[in-house]
Chain A
Amino acid sequence: IQMTQSPSLLSASVGDRVTLSCKAGQNINNYLAWYQQKLGEAPKLLIYNANSLQTGIPSRFSGSGSGTDFTLTISSLQPEDVATYFCQQYNSWNTFGAGTKLELK
């Protein structure tokens, strides 16, 4: 199942509300996760089952969507949120999106 993330690069200011998109090539129900990967580090699980916040992740992160269209929202961007964000579908095998690189404006 192909996963398409947009935009590939996003510039935003501290305090902005940021929305990242992930679209699946077919219905994946709610079997979608979001990961954050900072430069030189392993990915970190943020959201699973489309909208469940992983333990220890700040509440400014939230996920929504179902079927084929999903969104990761950061309610108030912080400097430490600069990273690349990947979505993963696990409805059929596992596929990752190509990522959205989030930088500060």
Chain B
Amino acid sequence: QVTLKESGPGILQPSQTLSLTCTFSGFSLSTYGMGVGWIRQPSGKGLEWLANIWWDDDKYYNPSLKNRLTISKDTSNNQAFLKITNVDTADTATYYCARSIVLPTLDYWGQGVMVTVSS
């Protein structure tokens, strides 16, 4: 059974760095073709893809945010991470992690974690 769960700080101040963790089970990021993606959704709005990391450590970033994003993984502990630097109120959203297999479609999603940026 594949499950993913996001965790994060809940609230942080502008200019800080947002650190998110995705803890998953039912698959391994060391298995050929496996990947984890991060997606966010401001309340009442659409989805924005942020980044993907693959089993071979290939990484892909949304070009509009690339300078602020860092994705990484800990294969031994079944975790993936996303850092966003220099946050501001526009980064307030629900952040999801999701699994990909070979294609960057997202077949299993976490429940999402709400992040609020406020002074």
Partners in one complex: yes
Total cross-chain contacts (CB, 8 A) = 50
CB of A42 within 8 A of CB of B62, answer no
CB of B46 within 8 A of CB of A42, answer no
B112's partner among A42, A94, A95, A98 (CB-CB below 8 A) is A42
A45's partner among B47, B48, B106 (CB-CB below 8 A) is B106
Interface residues in B2-31 by Cβ distance below 8 A to A read: none
Interface size on B, residues (CB 8 A): 20
The interface residues of chain B lying within 8 Å CB-to-CB of A88 are 47, 49, 105-106
Interface residues in A21-39 by Cβ distance below 8 A to B read: 31, 33, 35
Bound-complex Cα distance A94 to B107 (A) = 15
CB-defined interface of B72-111 with A at 8 Å, one 1/0 digit per residue?
0000000000000000000000001010000111110111
CB of B110 within 8 A of CB of A93, answer no
Interface size on A, residues (CB 8 A): 20
Bound-complex Cα distance A45 to B96 (A) = 14
Q: Is A97 an interface residue (CB 8 A)?
A: yes
A102 CB to nearest chain B CB (Å) = 15
CB of B103 within 8 A of CB of A97, answer no
Bound-complex Cα distance A33 to B39 (A) = 15
Bound-complex Cα distance A40 to B14 (A) = 26
The interface residues of chain B lying within 8 Å CB-to-CB of A44 are 109
Say whether, besides A97-B46, A98-B46, A90 and B104 are in contact (CB < 8 Å).
yes
B96's partner among A42, A54, A90, A94 (CB-CB below 8 A) is A42
CB of B109 within 8 A of CB of A96, answer no
CB of B106 within 8 A of CB of A95, answer no
A42's partner among B103, B105, B110 (CB-CB below 8 A) is B110
Interface residues in A55-86 by Cβ distance below 8 A to B read: 86
Bound-complex Cα distance A90 to B103 (A) = 8
CB of B46 within 8 A of CB of A96, answer yes
Bound-complex Cα distance A93 to B37 (A) = 12
The interface residues of chain A lying within 8 Å CB-to-CB of B60 are 93
